[in-house]
Structure 1
């Protein structure tokens, strides 16, 4: 398996201000320096990274500047994260225009995967058909990604329609998009990450690893919370997945470079302690 680390921890997740008045301009981004984040990620020993769609806008029309930092650090841009509401049909065209732009940028900068979040929660609670509308939106997002040579996967997330394992079990039969588990979000929503990885193992196409403390409701570097990562890694291996593991952390009180090093050292030990000689052949994720 290959280990990557997204840039989100350097500045945390915010949005583009233009998105307040323009749905098609509503991108995710971090406030930190992308170049500094990539240098810290490489120094921590990771070989791949993931960025938000909005951070690529900083390099739009100047891909060589971004490519130079990747070349300097030796990192591979593996994936780009995007998302949308998906349940409001009147703005669907605007959202798909944004996702198309995100996919175009991801392909331009050399990524092979598009990670898709979303499925809005209404102020008055879910309306009939919201999950079906989300599923159609995810299928269309996967089509857009494929048009740009990318593989799309869905990331269940707190604060969306799909927080709980029950909601995930309702959604997955309605859509064909691949699955990107986030261990902390799955646990925080009341799920067992290892169980859910096994349940949807035939659709596993990308992985986000982060730790979780249910008492403090905080995301943490690997090994500093309560999640059973040896069990989670074993579940991933049982699916036959043998590709990128993205160690993600939405925020960190200290130096984000320290968090990256902590997680890298912990994950290396977990991987070293496990046998890598399974009888079942590894299933390589197809890169478009």
Structure 2
């Protein structure tokens, strides 16, 4: 069932915070999961990569079951992310993409997303995240959009079968870079039920015409996954909280007001060298910002039992 249309009233919902494993790349997955549980996070943004639940290694289903049991034992929720830089091609960042001129390359990316959908289903994940990729040299934008739509069609079919939404992320520099681009894809595909949106709050600050708080409100009906970090206008650099320009309490208040029920995942992949430290700092910041967004006498936007 679709969420309320823009403008419809939704009750405030406690926000649940996670941390992305792409920001903990120097840790074993078991160690990363235990760290986040110990710090008090509600969940994990699990990027399938060679060091964290390698989607291409043997016995994926068995390894996924072990991770599922561990997450369940620790009380952690999960979203599956597919932004690993070199998991398919050791020489080309995020290659091959869904837009590659080579059909075989596009097929390898589609296969990765299909594997991610199966993993997400086995983990009970909120969503599978993905992005379009950059337009290859010499490729027209109309052709790129056609390739993207054709590539995502079998993935959306698999997502519908698995009951896990596919949450496409607008990524600066990619074909699908903005919220307007997401709606172009949505209409191109005929507004399929499994298609949703990953909203990166920093990306909103970076290049959207609307401020982040208005982006959250505009995105609400399609919101399936949220990534969060600080950022500056016009500069695509994921920053620790407080190092950029975003005013977080209004953004978190707007997100809570939408009734969003997924994870809000800290996205600091370039700070992986200091991942445990950043994870330790990020959750208290978000809890304080969420608490500051709530008028006196109203329910907190942080989960029940958490301490700002």
TM-score (norm 2): 0.72
Check the 8 A contact 2:35/2:276 in 1, yes or no: yes
Runs of 4+ in structure 1 off by over 6 angstroms are 276-279
Q: 2:204 aligns with which of 178, 183, 186?
A: 186
Corresponding residue number in structure 2 for 1:85: 97
Alpha carbons of structure 1 residues 253 and 51: separation in structure 2 relative to 1, 3 Å: closer
Gaps of 5+ in 2: 1-14, 84-95, 300-308
Matches within 5 A, 1:207-218: 207-214=226-233, 218=237
SS at match of 2:270: coil
Q: CA deviation at 1:80?
A: 0.8
Q: 1:156 aligns with which of 156, 170, 180?
A: 170
Task: Verify: 1:33 aligned to 2:28, yes or no.
Answer: yes
Q: 1:203 aligns with which of 212, 222, 244?
A: 222
Gaps of 5+ in 1: 12-30, 280-288
Q: CA deviation at 1:184?
A: 1.5
Q: CA deviation at 1:132?
A: 3.7
> RMSD over aligned Cα, in angstroms?
3.0
Paired positions, count: 259
SS at match of 2:22: coil
Alpha carbons of structure 1 residues 138 and 231: separation in structure 2 relative to 1, 3 Å: farther
Q: Can you list the C-alpha shifts for 1:178-224, whole angstroms capped at 9, x where unaligned?
A: 11101112322344322222222211121111111358753122233
SS at match of 2:269: coil
Check the 8 A contact 1:142/1:153 in 2, yes or no: no
Check the 8 A contact 1:132/1:171 in 2, yes or no: no
Corresponding residue number in structure 2 for 1:223: 242
Q: 1:8 aligns with which of 8, 12, 22?
A: 22
Q: CA deviation at 1:46?
A: 0.1
Distance 1:68 1:35 in 2: 11
Task: Verify: 1:120 aligned to 2:134, yes or no.
Answer: yes
Check the 8 A contact 2:253/2:290 in 1, yes or no: no
Corresponding residue number in structure 1 for 2:63: 62
Structure possessing the higher relative contact order (Cα contacts under 8 Å, 6 or more residues apart): 2
Alpha carbons of structure 1 residues 165 and 67: separation in structure 2 relative to 1, 3 Å: closer
Distance 1:172 1:146 in 2: 15
Corresponding residue number in structure 1 for 2:156: 142
Check the 8 A contact 1:156/1:186 in 2, yes or no: no
Distance 2:163 2:174 in 1: 27
TM-score (norm 1): 0.77
Alpha carbons of structure 1 residues 165 and 109: separation in structure 2 relative to 1, 3 Å: closer
Alpha carbons of structure 1 residues 170 and 278: separation in structure 2 relative to 1, 3 Å: farther
Check the 8 A contact 1:184/1:210 in 2, yes or no: yes
Check the 8 A contact 2:205/2:232 in 1, yes or no: no
